[in-house]
Structure 1
Amino acid sequence: MTRFAVAASATLAVLALPASIASAHTSPASDTATALHCGKLFDARSGKVRGPHTLLVRDGRIEQMISGGNADILGVPAVDLRGHTCSPGWTDLHVHLASQSSPQSYSEGFRLDPVDYAYRSVGYARKTLMAGFTSVRDLGGEVAPHLRDAINQGLVEGPRIWAAGKSIATTGGHADPTNGWNDMLSHLSGPPGPTEGVINSVDDARQAVRQRYKDGSDVIKITATGGVLSYARSGDAPQFTVDEVRAVVDTAKDYGYRVAAHAHGEEGMYRAVEAGVTSIEHGTYMSDRVMKLMKERGTWYVPTIHAGRFVADKAKVDGYFPEVVRPKAARIGALIEETATRAYKGGVKIAFGTDAGVGPHGDNAREFIYMVEAGIPAAVALQAATIRAAEVLGVDDQGVLAPGKRADVIAMPGNPLEDINVVMDVDFVMKDGAIYRRPQEPAR
């Protein structure tokens, strides 16, 4: 285990005691049952809002769904959500729970210890859950596997996490951890290799995936092109060969992993799709050629419009980004919404992700609003964060409200198909049958 992993694990252990005492509801009791009286219900399979339903939840699963009226179930405590629309808990397929963008982000990497990031991640995870996101895919950060384990053990509160751990890059690529270091620091540390997630050959690619397995990752993330916020000039140059990406994908399959590819530039994106990645993240310069291949291969697109808007806005602020980053943020960020519009009209499969950590955690649902503004119907946007997100993850026990599925249920006043802005007003959150937030209760 790396020094970073040890420190993060130790920090979460320290955080665990108060949370386990004060928040006993983090794990559902073995024989508990709850009835949820929903005024309306979002059916993720059809994309329609249905009428009143009562959901009987027992032992972390939906046991029964009764349509029409609000059925009283003898001896079972009920939650009155008759003024609400109930929905499957949402999934954000692109977050970074260990950090959040600020003008100090670049210097903090030299000043803060891993334990500092671990402490921060606990608060960010809780904000995400309270906003209605019962599952997330954390695409890059050594804290995430340890935070995942602490949440699964009921030690801290947060969404279910699929953790990538350290992203895989090439030398000088978007996730090379030594970008921007001076000569003294670079000589002291030596060039990073597959253990640190930096590869330059097919053999390196295989080793990097196997290291992620050793580290306890759930999914693999590669940076197929340059990035907006990395301390490097290009935001879109291809950074892997097709053979390198294919080696990542093939080795990942050996361990049951799916591969997400950060990609802005057209050529790097095409190579990633050709090599068999599961999803393209951001996709800024997606061309008709790339879209055609994505449809042929069944590749998913995760737009992250929220992050694009955020960095484009902050690029206007003097001093927020380093000068090498600022022109990329201004140029690339502003294009993502346009790409999402073209991809939807072109028939590319779209799933939900925000890149939260670039923008503020807890604000994830704003992505729905931006998707609708980009011309994506509200029903399709909501499906992207429910049933479609489950497909991307390769799971079939969540993303819909149905008997036998996980009792991940959220509720908001109003009908999101009529007014998408109500997604910002989630005030009921249940994960695995445990209630974390009720109407009239503050998010804490």
Structure 2
Amino acid sequence: MKLTIAALGLLIATGAPAATVVTAAHLFDPVKGLTLDNPIIVVDDKGRVQSLVTGNNARPNIPADAKRIDLGDVTILPGLIDMHVHLTADPTLSGYQGLEYTDNFWTVVGVANAKKTLEAGFTTVRNVGSSNYDDVAIKQAIEHGYVAGPRIMPATYAIGATGGHCNSTEFPPSVKVDSPNIANSPEGFRALVRTLRKYGAEVIKVCMTGGVLSKTDSVGAQQLSYEEIKAIVDEAHMLGLRVAIHAHGTAGINDGLRAGVDTIEHASLADDESFKLAKAHGAWFTMDIYDDDYILAEGAKNGVFAESLAKEKAVGLKQRQTFRAAHAAGVKLIFGTDAGVYPNGLNARQFAKMVEWGMTPVEAIRAATSEAAIALNRADDVGQLTPGHYADIVAVSGDPTRDVRLLEKPTWVLKGGQVVTAPGR
């Protein structure tokens, strides 16, 4: 029998049945880069894809008691992946405004943002920096069914040097701020990597250069030495963790690549040497090229420091030009938004910018599905809809390979076989 919209709500409350069959008019396969007609996806009781067939003559093996969800004239595709989010951030509380709230307030903000992110079609995210191990707490709450949210790969604290982008630079010496994420030597950073892993980090995030939203540093200045970043990379890789570095400036990007980092976040001032190093080392660029629009339009109202607005004006356009040049040079680019710098839940607004600055819609979607899964080191369970992968599905009312902005308004979302949103939401 077909599942009614009312019954979809029951699935949320009671969990997936023994098997669920999802059908639709079309399916976009990011690995093949093709849109296929009449997909039939059988989801097992573990929330994984049991089988996928397409075409009018498809005859899958469907259990007799399987529930059926017919989505009608839509295109479905794998659940989306955002490789750079900050779930515990609210951009409308920028600058000094955050000091008005207790520390645990931000955990609650993260719970709300996790739900928004999932409903937006992002079923997996990499959270690259939060205080107090908040992202680990939210991940655990999601996995145990207390709250709704995407699959989270947490970094816990983003680590950096004294006075750097990941340090609190907006206070005078008389204001003491706890800084468990700061070190100033190769051995100090090795110890930090071990500590973060101990408490739940699944990726290590490093502030390699200055940033936009930190108050006093230069956006492009290198803040860790080659010896320090090499120690971080060696320690993380030995422990089975990948390394993402926040890096706007050229020197910091290139030293990070020489040290073997896995992803460069922002990459605003990368040059031809950066492109060569990235390709030689197999690294990915994660470039948040929508942020500039939001920061310049809303930042002053939201309390962003004047110094930060000046830095964004200096670097925003250059970052987009670098994105286009990196794409043309064949650098691997994956989808990462820095959500939290603009509102979580609006992650998909970046797709149109990626297309505007050089990608095809197919490439942009692949950057947020199959390619992101590889960079996440989870290509065996997310990023595509083949047997064994999680049944993470997003539906849109049209062809996203022709209009990528359709991804901004998904009509239906499934995560691990569990219905997130029903048609007509």
TM-score, length basis structure 2: 0.92
* Kept in 1: contact 2:74–2:398 (CA 8 A): yes
1:173 aligns with 2:147: no
Correspondence 1:356 to 2:356: no
**Structure 2 equivalent of residue 341 of structure 1:** 324
Q: How far apart are the structure 1 equivalents of 2:245 and 2:14? A: 33
Give the length in aligned residue pairs.
410
Counterpart residue number, 1:33: 19
Q: 1:27 to 1:125 in 2, by over 3 A?
A: farther
Q: Which of the residues 95, 107, 110 maps onto 2:96?
A: 107
Q: Distance in 2 between matches of 1:204 and 1:28?
A: 46
Task: Report matched runs for 1:305-384 at 5 Å.
Answer: 305-314=289-298, 317=300, 320-384=303-367
**3-state SS of 1:154 partner:** coil
- Distance in structure 1 (CA, Å) of the matches to 2:163 and 2:10: 44
1:4 paired residue number: none
Aligned to 1:121: 110
Match of residue 197, structure 1, among 178, 181, 206? 181
CA distance in 2, matches of 1:398, 1:272: 27
Residue 38 (structure 1) shift? 1.7
TM superposition shift of 1:126 = 0.4
Alpha-carbon distance in structure 1 between the residues aligned to 2:366 and 2:383? 8
Residue among 48, 53, 72 paired with 2:34: 48
Describe the superposition over 1:92-122 as per-residue Cα deviations: whole angstroms up to 9, x where unpaired.
00000001212x3222332211221111111
Q: Is the 8 A contact 1:306 1:355 kept in 2?
A: no
Question: Does the 8 Å CA contact 1:308/1:335 hold for their aligned counterparts?
Answer: no
Rounded Cα–Cα distance in structure 1 between residues aligned with 2:357 and 2:383: 23
For 2:72, give the aligned amino acid.
R
Could you tell me which residue of structure 2 aligns to residue 161 of structure 1? 152
- Tell me the TM-score normalized by structure 1: 0.89
62-71 or 276-285: bigger deviation: 62-71
Are the equivalent residues in 1 in contact too, given 2:11–2:418 (CA < 8 A)?
A: no
**Residue 63 of structure 1 pairs with residue 56 of structure 2:** no
SS of 1:311 mapped into structure 2: helix
Map of 2:135 onto structure 1: 144
Separation (CA, whole Å) in 1 of partners of 2:266 and 2:197: 25
Alpha-carbon separation, structure 2, partners of 1:91 and 1:124: 15
CA shift at 1:323, angstroms? Answer: 2.0
Are residue 76 (structure 1) and residue 63 (structure 2) matched?
Answer: no
**Could you tell me whether the CA contact under 8 Å between 2:156 and 2:196 is conserved in 1?**
yes
Structure 2 residue matching 1:98: 3-state secondary structure: coil
Measure the CA separation in 2 of the matches of 1:23 and 1:337: 45
The unaligned stretches of length 5 or more in structure 2 are 1-8
C-alpha spacing 1:91/1:181, structure 2 compared with 1 (3 Å) = same
In 2, Cα distance between equivalents of 1:247 and 1:434: 41
CA distance in 2, matches of 1:147, 1:27: 22
| Closer, same or farther: CA 131–182 of 1 in aligned 2, 3 Å | same
Aligned equivalent of 1:405, options 361, 384, 389? 389
* Matched ranges for 1:261-340 at <5 A: 261-314=245-298, 317=300, 320-340=303-323
SS at match of 1:325: helix
Please report the RMSD computed on the Cα atoms of aligned residues, expressed in angstroms: 1.9
Aligned partners of 1:369 and 1:357: how far apart in 2?
A: 19
CA change 1:128–1:71 in 2 (3 A) is farther
Offset at residue 405 of structure 1 (A): 1.2
| Distance in 2 between residues matched to 1:138 and 1:23, nearest whole Å | 30
Question: Measured at CA, do residues 262 and 382 of structure 1 come closer, stay the same or move farther in structure 2, by a change above 3 Å?
Answer: same
Percentage identity across paired residues of the two chains: 35
CA distance in 1, matches of 2:194, 2:238: 10
The residue identity in structure 1 corresponding to 2:49 is: I
CA distance in 1, matches of 2:124, 2:301: 35
CA–CA distance in 2 between the matches of 1:24 and 1:64? 21
Counterparts of 1:248 and 1:23, CA distance in 2:
47
Distance 1:111 1:373, change over 3 A: same
1:271-290 Cα shifts (integer Å, max 9, x gaps) = 11111110001110010011
Structure-2 residue corresponding to 1:97: 87
CA deviation profile, 1:120-147 (whole Å, cap 9, x unmatched): 1111100000000000000000311110
Q: For residue 409 of structure 2, what is the aligned residue in structure 1?
A: 425
The separation in 1 between residues aligned to 2:350 and 2:331, in whole angstroms, is 18
Task: Give the aligned partner of residue 12 of structure 1.
Answer: none
CA drift at 1:23 = 9.2
CA contact (8 A) 1:233 1:325 kept: no
For residues 363-418 of structure 1, give each alpha carbon's deviation from its aligned partner in whole angstroms, at most 9, with x where no partner exists: 10111111011110111110111111111111121111111211111111100011
Shift of 1:357: 0.2
Q: Deviations over 1:240-286 (max 9, x none)?
A: 11110010011111221100011100001101111111000111001
Structure 2 CA distance for partners of 1:71 and 1:426, relative to 1, 3 Å: farther
For structure 1, the 5+ residue unaligned runs are 1-21
For residue 328 of structure 1, give the secondary structure of its aligned residue in structure 2: helix
Contact 1:344 1:376 in 2 (8 A): yes
Alpha-carbon distance change, 318 to 414 in structure 1, aligned in 2, over 3 angstroms: closer
SS of the equivalent of 2:83 reads strand
Matched, 1:185 2:175: yes
